Each structure stands twice: as structure tokens, then as C-alpha cells.
Amino acid sequence: MMQSNKAVRLPKSNRSKGLWLVLILAISGLAVAQDSEGKLGKRPATPAELNRQALTLQDLDQTQSALDKAMQALLPGAKLGKPIDLKPGSTQANRSHIIRTYHRQFLAAKPLFKLKPRPVVFDKSVLNTTDPATKAALEELITWGFVSRIGNIATGTGAVTLEEFGDTLGFFLSRMSELTHQPSVKWTPFLQRPDQQER
């Protein structure tokens, strides 16, 4: 049997996933865009060295701004409210800053979710957060699958590097993309009946 050379066209319901992918790539570049210029006679930092640098409040504030703009464009009904005051500067961002930033975005998008996923089961005793409000926000993010239950943000210690932050951001945006669009039965195998699936 000869295979068709016709291009497969994605349904309209998958366009939002494509837009979220563009957003992920754009923010990834923004988040790692720290100043790599050294002093006279000093070579610029390599990408690998930049990835090992600690996330600053300025990096997180730029990411929050980019997420806000993307949500206003992709989810017009989302009510973002007041941005988290990060007081941008060279100060390192900590896990509490990241959790509060993600939780704000989550709460804005939650009324627009098309699906309610099965809650993620996790061990609360391994979470490395003592502040009650931050811990409650982290638990909600993990339960909904927006933060990994064993990831660096939930269980890590010490400074968060740009590479680690990039991993959590990708994880967060992947879940956001999944829950804010209605999947097509034609293109989603787990929603299909056995007789609808390709052999």
C-alpha cells in the first residue's frame, strides 16, 4: 500500500498547544538572558556556566511579565490580579518567590480549565517549605500537576539555578497547555473508543 504524501493538518483545538510551545521557547530564552559580559580581559561566560548561575529576582520578574502577556493573549478571560512584588534586583530568588509566582498564574487560569485531572498523590513530609501560606500554595500546585512532587522546587535546598528554574517552568507550562484546551477525540488516543483507534 502506498503512503500518502499529504501533510497532516492539526485541528483547531490543538492551536493553543502550539501557542503555548512558542511561549515556552520565548520564555526559556528570556529566563537565561543574564548578562554574560565580563570585565576587560575576562572571557564571556559559556551557556553551561550561565545555566549554573543562581536565579535572580530580576529573572523571575521578567518571566512573570512574559507569562502575564501570554495569558492575556491566549486566555483573555483569565483574571491575573496584582503581580507578585519581587523587588527586582541582583538578589537571588528563592523557592517561595517561584511558588507564589506560579500559584498566581494557576489561580488566574483555573476557572478556564477544560479538564479536571486526577489529583497527584504525594508525601507532604518531604516538602521543604515552612511558611504555611507558601506550603498550601505548593501543595495545590503539586496536586494539580503544575509542580513535580519530587522536583527541586518542592524538595530542594540552596539556590535555584537557571537550569533548574527552566525545568520547573517547562513543567508548569506543559500542564497549563494541557488543561486550558479541549482535546480532540480524533487526535487523543486515551479519549477514543477501541474502534476509533488506528490499527
From first to last of the 199 residues of the chain, give the pLDDT tens digit: 444 444 445 455 555 655 665 566 555 555 444 444 444 556 677 777 776 888 989 888 889 899 999 888 888 888 887 887 877 666 888 899 999 999 999 999 999 998 888 899 999 999 988 899 999 999 999 999 999 999 989 998 888 998 999 999 999 999 998 898 877 777 777 677 777 666 5
CA-to-CA distance for 199 and 76, rounded, in angstroms?
A: 39
Domain locations in the chain as residue ranges:
17-31+51-118+159-184
**What pLDDT does 187 receive?**
72
The residue count of the chain comes to 199
Q: Which residue has the cell 548561575?
A: 53
H and E: helices and strands count for the chain: 7, 0
Please name every residue paired with 56 in a beta bridge, in sequence order, or none if there are none.
92
Q: In a 3-state reduction of DSSP, which class is residue 56? A: strand
**What pLDDT does 74 receive?**
87
Burial of 141 (0-12, 13-18, 19+ CB in 10 A): buried
Helix (H) or strand (E) holding 27: helix 15-31
**What pLDDT does 36 receive?**
45
Query: b/e for 78-112, b at 16 or more Cβ within 10 A?
Result: bebeeebebebeeebbbbbbbbbbbbbbbebbeeb
User: How remote is the C-alpha of 186 from its chain's centroid?
Assistant: 27
